[in-house]
Amino acid sequence: KGRPRIAVITGHARAYTPKATAEWESRAVSYLRQSWGSRDPLPCPVAVHVVAVFERPLRLTTKRHAATMDMPHVTKPDGDNVSKAALDAMEKAGILANDSQAHDVRIVKRYANNGEQPAVHVMVTWAASEMESQQ
């Protein structure tokens, strides 16, 4: 999730979302809506586990690094920005009424293993008893 940018247009400051962030969020919302279907947003607290898989840079594709599975990704973007983008997309897709419902957020950032494509995987869990008591 890129930081909002500010531009001065005809003497007025305007904040906007960076293009790459807006495009990623739009695709994520589309995929999430497909997966969630026409169900209502969850009305209860949720736990969210995000696994962000990044493309391996050329320096890590040598034979020495080829066998290294689940190599941590410790460069930008920051994990909190990745999880923030995922939560915002979940809210826009109608899975969460508000992203503040996420009381337990975990993020894993790693490089792709051999043959694996870059992706963001999101798993949401909630207790059925909590859902019933919220209605």
The confidence score (pLDDT) of residue 18 equals 79
The confidence score (pLDDT) of residue 72 equals 93
Residue 42 one-letter amino acid: L
77 closest CA partner among 56, 95, 52: 52
| C-beta separation of 13 from 6 below 8 A | yes
The confidence score (pLDDT) of residue 59 equals 79
Please give the chain's pLDDT, 135 residues, in tens.
666 777 777 888 877 777 888 899 999 999 999 999 999 999 999 999 999 999 988 877 766 666 677 889 999 999 999 999 999 999 999 999 999 999 999 999 999 988 889 999 999 999 766 555 555
Q: Distance between CA 5 and CA 29 in Å, rounded?
A: 22
| C-beta separation of 4 from 16 below 8 A | yes
